[in-house]
Amino acid sequence: MPTYGYVHIHLRSPDPAATAEWYHRMFDAGIIETIEPPGRQRTDIDINGLMVFIAGALHPARKHKDCETTTTVSTTSACE
């Protein structure tokens, strides 16, 4: 049976810098900020070798009627 792994994961956030700072405070994640062509800022975090790429949310954050937390628009589950 094959073994599967991953190189990184992607997150979407209405405020990537604030999200990265939260992961830094909670998990001591390293914050890596770079500029990608054509001048877009990219925020990545390194949580003990787990790379997480944080991009801006495609839609503004909103509270779903069935959720306790604010989420971005999801096509798979209302409360992800």
For the chain (80 residues), the mean pLDDT of every run of 10, in chain order, is 91 92 97 85 93 82 56 43
pLDDT at 75: 40
pLDDT at 40: 80
pTM (2 d.p.) = 0.65
pLDDT at 57: 80
Please give the Cα distance from 72 to 12 (Å, whole number): 8
Contact 15, 22 (CB under 8 A): no
Domains (ranges, CATH) in the chain? 8-71 (3.10.180.10)
What residues does 41 pair with on adjacent strands?
A: 35
Edge-to-edge strand order for the sheet containing 50-56? 8-13, 50-56, 40-47, 30-36
CA dihedral sign of residues 3, 75, 39, 15 = negative
pLDDT at 34: 86
pLDDT at 68: 55
